[in-house]
Amino acid sequence: MDNQSQVVNLERVQALEAWLKSTNTKLTQVNGQRKYGGPPEVWDGPPPGARCEVFISQIPRDVYEDLLIPLFSSVGVLWEFRLMMNFSGQNRGFAYAKYGTAAIANDAIRQLHGYTLGPGTRLNVRCSIEKRHLCIQNLPASTQQEELLQVLGLLSAGVESVALKAGPGIEGVSAVVCFSSHHAASMAKKVLGEEFKKQFCLEISIKWLSAEKHIPDEPPPPQRAPKGLLMSPLKHLGQTSPRLPPRMVSPSIPTAFCRAVGGPATQYGPKCTSSPPRGQLMFSVSPVLLLQKLSEASGWGDPQYEMFFSHTGPDGFLYFTYNVHVPGAPKTFRGFVMILPGHCSSTVLEEAQRAAAQQVLQKVCSSALSV
């Protein structure tokens, strides 16, 4: 691209600023795009469903929201409008407009496709296929659907459903995860790989699900991640213990991933004969003692634990975050653990420390193996 095409039309920028001020319209810059709404300040109705968004291309580089939003609002009320931007301040030639219903989106395509914004420029408006599905590969063979759903709900927002698949040609287990929006799926794609590596010592592969057109418009009722699994502002445990939930008769314990994030230590009994899933370590003695011995053998100081109570999940688990500082170690270890109280004689805080020590040992072993 030559330098001339990077020059911003100051007259058009000033017109945009004047329009924003006169209409009190608010735009937000997010990851290379400028966004209006999602939803707008005044919105009456549910969020848009499938096929409510249109893709707009062939936009002149010096055309901005002061022309585009009124144009696409003339068809129906906009729920969201996103204009892709580059660092020069010009638009990148395409945008997305989302309406409340698929019928209004179809009207926008019919009325505005081929619309002339300037000499020799005609807008290309067509239905946008919003990617909302991610494929996660290389999960442990023992992964269960409900367990994975809970873990994903904790690590990312907007998870709606999970479907597992395994068979010839598939290493371990793969999962197809549906999100509430393309934005939620994009954010999850950016963070889940690193989070699985950090929290569970698992190297997973995450990519967009191909052939989105094969996914039905109206999937079966999703298994939604419990809201109680979303992280709330932390509260220091201090001198008081968290209020314990009533004893549950049949708590839904996520076995494989619960262990991976530091579930109740009593689940690892000597009678267990199956091999641990990939990415997990199982200890027959206290992880706290093992970490202490490892620190001594490595010439480090005594591990120091900071435990913070986060919240109680709807399944009865207590959620903690932790900082484990080992003087002489390369870094302070941080993470979160889940504890189901009442399974042994030790206190909740002791169980949380055991789970934290187990995670630290997993991370140390994983780092040693990768060298």
What residues does each domain of the chain span?
10-127, 133-208, 288-369
pLDDT over 70 (residue 186) = yes
> Given pLDDT bands bounded at 50, 70 and 90, which one contains residue 148?
confident
In Å, how far from its chain's centre is CA 138?
Answer: 18
pLDDT over 50 (residue 86) = yes
pLDDT over 80 (residue 314) = no
Q: Are strands 173-179 and 205-208 parallel, antiparallel or unpaired?
A: unpaired
pLDDT over 50 (residue 108) = yes
State the CB neighbour count (10 A cutoff) for residue 333.
23
State the CB neighbour count (10 A cutoff) for residue 262.
26
> Given pLDDT bands bounded at 50, 70 and 90, which one contains residue 345?
low
pLDDT over 60 (residue 117) = yes
The confidence score (pLDDT) of residue 53 equals: 93
**What CATH architecture is 288-369?**
2-Layer Sandwich (3.30)
The confidence score (pLDDT) of residue 272 equals: 33
Residue pair 224/178 in contact (Cβ under 8 Å)? The answer is no
pLDDT tens-digit series, residues 1-50: 444 455 678 999 999 999 999 999 999 988 789 999 988 988 888 888 87
If residue 200 lies in a helix (H) or strand (E), which one and from where to where? helix 182-200
The confidence score (pLDDT) of residue 341 equals: 63
pLDDT tens-digit series, residues 231-247: 322 233 333 334 433 33
Side-chain half-sphere exposure of 129, counting CA atoms within 13 A: 11
pLDDT over 70 (residue 287) = yes
The confidence score (pLDDT) of residue 104 equals: 96
Mean pLDDT of 306-331: 81
Higher model confidence: residue 251 or residue 103?
103
The confidence score (pLDDT) of residue 11 equals: 92
- For the chain, state the CA radius of gyration: 26
Classify domain 133-208 at the CATH topology level: Alpha-Beta Plaits (3.30.70)
Residue pair 164/175 in contact (Cβ under 8 Å)? The answer is yes
> Given pLDDT bands bounded at 50, 70 and 90, which one contains residue 367?
low
**C-alpha dist (Å) from residue 149 to 210, 229, 257:** 21, 10, 10
Mean pLDDT of 117-128: 90
> Given pLDDT bands bounded at 50, 70 and 90, which one contains residue 93?
very high
The confidence score (pLDDT) of residue 142 equals: 77
Tell me the C-alpha distance between 263 and 245, whole Å.
17
pLDDT over 80 (residue 187) = yes
The confidence score (pLDDT) of residue 123 equals: 96
CATH number for region 10-127: 3.30.70.330
Stated pTM of the model:
0.48
The confidence score (pLDDT) of residue 206 equals: 93
Tell me the C-alpha distance between 238 and 309, whole Å.
9
Mean pLDDT of 278-286: 49
The answer to whether 133-208 and 288-369 have equal CATH topology is no
Residue 113: closest CA among 57, 51, 48: 57
The confidence score (pLDDT) of residue 17 equals: 95
pLDDT over 50 (residue 274) = no
Q: What percent of the chain has pLDDT over 70?
A: 71
